[in-house]
Structure 1
């Protein structure tokens, strides 16, 4: 019995991370460079330092950044904008710098941030899906049982942030009273994919990683930006994990979409390689549909059924927020 959980921007929003429209606004501000003669008057200093270090063609990159800043109000998301300019090195570079900078800043302002040696404040998170999921996950389980359970759970996270990994790492320590090393060992049983990359590994999983919400150096920003993928890069079978992600869907009996907007390009990325693989399995898809009209909800149900080869009756999209969906399907989502 394998469970796949697909996480979109709406899920991270519950702890304070930006959705697509807010992220484009933040990126527009970071790339809003202006000059008085040769002196820079606005725009993010760290991104400016990274541009200066990475390339000798500084004016071309600054012009690309300024063009992006002007265009951000018109973009559905930063991913859509980068895809529209696929192959433009200046735009892709500036966009990836801005994504890393904006997401790390957003992490530091989120409910999950633990600066100055503080512990995670779970009371701030009690009404979020993170806590609702944890309660379901840890129900009637000792720590060795948890490790076995995680072997059968896969996260496919379309966001660049590390909220899920950061939350679970700290929840395991607090709930089971174990060390950082033990929590990291337990989380090795969990499969996590970021189809479009992330702002870097967390230090407990990779010594070269960057802490949640940290401020990178210019060199770190350059290195972390290389982990961000455009749509073209994320769907390239030769340079992405798309094959393994799709295989997870073939084996899943339960799929849960959280804060996901069901964009066609992202649904296609998740399409199982062989929809017949589901045949003979009691497969059910669940998902949030907060803000969807009835017509759009019905369209999403049809799209998921056609994409995966399951019956529409097995697709359950509730017009609820992420935390609420765990209440709505509390018995059927038992992990």
Structure 2
């Protein structure tokens, strides 16, 4: 059980552990799917054909023409040559409705496709298992930290000290944790879904590709890994740019609350991209939080740069409050589990 107020910031790097697309993967897939100059050739991908069909189907719903959506898609494809993320491209093209529409549709399309292809199943494959097999992933380690030592009669307290800020578009956290709760406390999955729905505090700064069925929002709902949702336009409108979030007082208040709640901040696969950093640390009001940071394959120079950035943004002067480890997110949660539980 996590006993001290803790906010976990989850970045795209954590997705590698559960075989979901990370930031570069998503950008690469979008670039390939938007090669519309190949549409009339023999060298074209299935995704490209699917996007052509999709754009024809939804153009009217978006008050655009098919050609406008194609132009927006090709602008994104061109921008991928000099960009590091689809989030950055949509921020750059915030003035262009066609680019925003095409990009957000692609995010929903590829994220749901990623869910369907991941090792995370809709349900456990066998009795006594979890939908994601194995323990060598951060979701298992997190689930274990949440429920460990919590009596069944106080199960609703398991999430009391935890907040999550997740920069990924998928629903892996929301999909996985009810099964952990179900296994830990001997509940039905419906009871576990209700507990997580009522107790889990999670923020998706750039939005999320739909609500899961148990979250009770059919209009903006999508089952795990639904690769052809009828409501894809509505789902795409729940994807946001940094500027759109900055202009939302409700969102800013929510993010500020969850960031400032944590006396401990844990960064899991978070790459410290400047745009994401600005969104987070502008909302940090807690003095001198303890910080745990996991980054994989980071050079000593990059480590120094990130530490300097953290010191500057947080005002932390005591170096012992910041721990930066060159390890996977699952390893950080496992090896620092006693600290996080204390």
Q: TM-score, normalised by structure 2?
A: 0.87
Equivalent residue for 1:213?
225
SS in 1 for 2:214: coil
Question: Is 1:151–1:189's contact at 8 Å kept on the other side of the alignment?
Answer: yes
CA distance in 1, matches of 2:116, 2:126: 13
CA distance in 1, matches of 2:24, 2:284: 34
Equivalent residue for 2:34?
31
Change (3 A) 1:330 1:124: same
User: Where in structure 1 do 4 or more consecutive aligned residues deviate above 4 Å?
Assistant: 115-123, 272-275
Q: Larger deviation: 119-128 or 314-323?
A: 119-128
CA distance in 2, matches of 1:299, 1:278: 22
Question: Is 1:47–1:98's contact at 8 Å kept on the other side of the alignment?
Answer: no
Q: RMSD across aligned C-alpha pairs, in angstroms?
A: 2.5
Equivalent residue for 2:273?
263
Aligned residues: 327
Equivalent residue for 2:263?
253
Deviation at 1:210, TM superposition (A): 0.9
Equivalent residue for 1:307?
313
CA distance in 2, matches of 1:106, 1:48: 23
Deviation at 1:217, TM superposition (A): 3.4
CA distance in 2, matches of 1:217, 1:185: 24
Deviation at 1:274, TM superposition (A): 6.6
CA distance in 2, matches of 1:291, 1:36: 41
- Does 2:75 match 1:67? yes
CA distance in 2, matches of 1:54, 1:107: 25
Q: TM-score, normalised by structure 1?
A: 0.89
Change (3 A) 1:278 1:272: farther
1:35-67 alpha-carbon deviations (Å, 9 max, x no partner): 449xx9943233442235433422122122133
| Aligned pairs (5 A) from 1:11-160 | 11-33=14-36, 34-36=38-40, 42-44=48-50, 45-114=53-122, 121=130, 124-160=133-169
Equivalent residue for 2:12?
9
- Does 2:240 match 1:232? no
Deviation at 1:123, TM superposition (A): 6.5
Change (3 A) 1:274 1:81: closer
Deviation at 1:154, TM superposition (A): 0.5
CA distance in 2, matches of 1:115, 1:66: 38
